[in-house]
Structure 1
Amino acid sequence: MSKRRRHPRISPADPCPCGSGGPYGGCCGRLHRGEAAAATAEQLMRSRYSAFAVRDEAYLLRTWHPDARPPRVGFDPGLQWTGLEILETADGGPFHTEGTVRFRAHFTDGGEPGAMEEHSTFVRLDGAWVYEAALPEG
């Protein structure tokens, strides 16, 4: 049995799931491999979306704030992430220590299309951006 962490259907030359328009290997792939760190909260959000798309549990756990990190990430085998829209960002730039990103993530679940929307908070921890929590709606 293979111990590959990546979703088998994506190669470094494939378009990055985050929607940047660049190839996965030079975009979120380099963050997933640990060759670069997210410079902004939005870049971390995009790379985490891509990590869900390629099922990179190690990256997701590494970029989750330790106070909120689950013991593991469960991936639904029938769920496929199909697109990401960034709706709004506040702060989260290279010189900030916290920021928020509101996004809509599109998926198919058992072939049926759907979308989820979240307003997420990100903070710097030891200099690196991490996902902290989803803000409550309302």
Structure 2
Amino acid sequence: MNKHECPCGSERELADCCGQWHTGLALGQHAPTPEALMRSRYSAYVLGLIDYLLATWHPSTAPGDLELQPVKWLGLEVRHAEMTGDAGVVEFVARCKVGGRAERMEETSRFVRQDGRWLYIDGQTS
């Protein structure tokens, strides 16, 4: 990944990919699909954007605050994404190193569209 490439693995520039949702949040510009939101949240974890993560979490399941653990994120693979009406699901695998040890996190995340914007509800890991 080059310096300006988006961490989500799209091979696009950060500013033209997840970065537009990170910076656009304050302007009312939101990720248009559950997959776009999930990718932007992954990128926010990589970049340490705690405010973005909290702002895109549904209030009913959001933690009061969030502390990111020291993780080196290595890549993201989206396996499946779908949306039906105001509900969405994204299945993905995120690779990382924790304490020098390689790990994989497989998750099926649920999203809901509320007031015109997608929000992360929760995820089941396997």
TM (normalized to structure 2)? 0.89
Partner of 2:101: 112
Per-residue CA deviation, residues 89-123 of structure 1 (Å, 9 max, x unaligned), is 1226xxx3111001000101122211101101000
Offset, 1:25: 1.9
- Give the number of aligned pairs: 123
Partner of 1:31: 21
Bigger share in strand: 2
**Residues in 1 aligned to 2:6 and 2:100: alpha-carbon distance in whole angstroms:** 21
Structure 1 stretches of 4+ moved >2 Å: none
CA RMSD of aligned residues (A): 1.9
Q: For structure 1, which runs of at least 5 residues remain unmatched after alignment?
A: 1-9
Q: What are the equivalent positions in structure 2 for 1:11-50 lying under 5 Å apart?
A: 14-34=4-24, 36-50=29-43
Bigger share in helix: 2
SS of residue paired to 2:30 = coil
Q: What are the equivalent positions in structure 2 for 1:51-130 lying under 5 Å apart?
A: 51-77=44-70, 79-91=71-83, 96-130=85-119
Amino-acid identity (%): 41
**Bigger Rg, which one:** 1
Q: For structure 2, which runs of at least 5 residues remain unmatched after alignment?
A: none
One-letter amino acid of the counterpart of residue 98, structure 2: D
Offset, 1:136: 6.9
